[in-house]
Amino acid sequence: MLTDTEGIVLRQVKTSYGRRMILLFSKKYGKISAGTGLNERGKGKSSLALRPFTYGRYELFKNRDSYNINGAEVLKSYYGIGEDVDKYMNGAYVLEFTERVLAEEVPSPGIFSLLIDFFDLLENRDKGIGTLVLAYQTKVFRYTGVMPQLERCAICGEEKPAFKFSVEEGGVICRDCFQAMENLGPHALIYDIKFGILDILKYFTVNPLKKLENIALKEDAGKLLQEIIREYAAYYLDASDLKSEKLI
């Protein structure tokens, strides 16, 4: 069956006889692996669409067990990302993170649109790139159904003042529940709520990504939030030990 879909290349691997396996985040089919004999090194429309940070349209031959990319064209190329080391490293991290959290062949239109918005902002952003990455990850939590509880205690469910953030409990916890936990012994992955991180997470949650284009977190808040988000992603989405994580 011949079909087509918009998509973003997450990763590619060279195979034998000049072919490649493309891991494609497609709008229609979700994350799929597709073989292709198209040459990435050429200057045609198809070759350009196989490169990183390109939003393209892909003609697929789909059978019961596999996909093949017969043709491709560029819809938008974010070539500016590749011209800046910091942007490239953070963009590569977001691609690897997205690859890890997506299920095979499950359409995720919300994350697909979010990723395009991320690239639009990343290409034109001069500072606060880390803030943009954290906002993207926070929104991915919502689309994957693991958004942390921020409005009430994740243990007792009451709207008491937030005292700590617990990765294992899935959100903020009140002082009473924290003290009850402490009486049972030490617990890992519990963080102080400081530097305004709770308000930051709430702001990330309710505002579209494009509204965050001029926001940059202070270093102390950024480092704490980065640690919490990475641990949370590792715990609930198995998004740990990413190769690109050490580069940003």
DSSP annotation string for 56-120: EEEEEEE-SS-EEEEEEEEEEE-HHHHTSHHHHHHHHHHHHHHHHHSPBT---HHHHHHHHHHHH
pLDDT, tens digit (0-9, with 9 covering 90-100), for 196-235 = 999 999 999 999 998 887 889 999 999 999 999 999 999 9
Beta strands in the chain (DSSP E): 2-14, 20-26, 30-36, 54-62, 67-77, 164-166, 171-173, 190-192
pLDDT mean over 11-26 = 82
SS3 content of the chain, % helix, strand, coil (to 5): 45, 25, 35
Residue type, 202: K
pLDDT, tens digit (0-9, with 9 covering 90-100), for 19-40 = 788 999 999 999 999 988 876 6
CA distance 58 to 54: 12
Please say if the pLDDT value at position 49 is more than 90: no
Q: What is the mean pLDDT of the chain?
A: 91
**Enclosing H/E stretch for 181:** helix 175-183
% residues pLDDT > 70 (the chain):
95
* Residue 205, pLDDT score: 94
* Residue 51, pLDDT score: 81
CA distance 100 to 24: 13
Tell me the two tokens of residue 177: 């529940």
Q: How confident is the model at residue 18 (pLDDT cuts 50, 70, 90)?
A: low
pLDDT mean over 62-89 = 90
pLDDT, tens digit (0-9, with 9 covering 90-100), for 142-165 = 999 999 999 999 999 999 999 999
Q: Domain 80-146+197-247, CATH 1.20.1440 — does that match?
A: yes
Please say if the pLDDT value at position 42 is more than 60: no
Exposure of 61 in the CB half-sphere (CA atoms within 13 A): 7
Residues of the chain with CATH 2.40.50.140: 2-77
Q: Which residues pair with 106 in a beta bridge?
A: none
Other beta carbons within 10 angstroms of residue 219's beta carbon come to 10
Spell 121-140 as b/e; 16+ CB within 10 A means b.
Answer: bbbebeebbbbbbbbbbbbb
pLDDT mean over 95-114 = 96
* Residue 204, pLDDT score: 96
CA distance 8 to 22: 10
* Residue 192, pLDDT score: 96
Residues of the chain with CATH 1.20.1440: 80-146+197-247
* Residue 63, pLDDT score: 85
Cα 226-224-168 angle, rounded to 5 deg: 80
* Residue 64, pLDDT score: 81
Residue type, 129: I
- 183 or 71: which leads in pLDDT: 71
pLDDT, tens digit (0-9, with 9 covering 90-100), for 224-244 = 999 999 999 999 999 988 999
% residues pLDDT > 90 (the chain):
71
The CATH class that applies to domain 2-77 reads mainly beta
Read off the DSSP letter of residue 218: -
* Residue 44, pLDDT score: 60
